[in-house]
Amino acid sequence: MAAAVITSAVLTMLLPDTLRLGPRWAVPLAEGLLLVALTSADPVRIGRRSAALRAVSITLVSLMVCSAIWSTVQLIDDLIHGGSETDSAGALLLAGGIVWTSTILAFSLLYFELDSGGPAARARHMPATPALAFPQQLSPELNASHWRPRYVDYLYLGFTNSTALSPTDVMPLAPWAKSVMTVQSIVSLVILGLVIARAVNVLA
């Protein structure tokens, strides 16, 4: 999780100024401070159940999601009205790739934080009906009663939902999970469709 946050902060700094939420340092600094607060309070593993820590986690993830969606909206605006990065296929693909990757990281952390009450709650008890059902939970023959999803499982979910634009092996059961996966699919569809179409047009 920490690596995902750091990667997202670096990608934010690499974005063109027109696609970034605030100054170049603002969002990465806020993400870094929130990450430091989380790791300082629970440095070894995510195991403490605290309302304050959960609030910090949700704030961090919400900031990342808002930043990714803001960059997507600004990229769409630049594609429609013309922007500095839209005249070069290379610059456009680079900016689009950064926005798309940031979206995957942000939504994967959102799933990680919201599914079944968060990582600390999952470590203690998995509900009978989780918000996101993984294959290990859907297949009795796997006998995975003690299995718990880790961040890499949610990262895979975020990636496949952004590429297939639909659920693959992880099924959303809760209404919020279906809604969030729908939003992520729409965002990815817009990024991939418009960016690739514009890049091909520039090359032609």
- Whether the per-residue pLDDT at 185 is higher than 60: the answer is yes
Arithmetic mean of pLDDT, 176-185: 94
pLDDT tens, residue by residue, 87-142: 777 888 888 899 999 999 999 999 999 998 888 778 777 777 789 988 888 776 77
Contact predicate 27/21, CB 8 Å = yes
Contact predicate 188/163, CB 8 Å = yes
Q: How confident is the model at residue 46 (pLDDT cuts 50, 70, 90)?
A: low
The end-to-end CA distance of the chain, in Å, is: 41
Arithmetic mean of pLDDT, 51-62: 88
- Whether the per-residue pLDDT at 63 is higher than 80: the answer is yes
Secondary structure of 60-119 as H, E, C letters? HHHHHHHHHHHHHHHHHHHHHHCCHHHCCHHHHHHHHHHHHHHHHHHHHHHHHHHHHHCH
Calpha distance 103→184 (Å, rounded): 8
Whole-number pLDDT of residue 47:
53
Buried/exposed 91-109: b ≥16 CB within 10 Å, e otherwise: bbbebbebbbbbbbbbbbb
Arithmetic mean of pLDDT, 26-37: 91
Lowest mean pLDDT among 15-19, 63-67, 118-122: 118-122
Calpha distance 102→48 (Å, rounded): 27
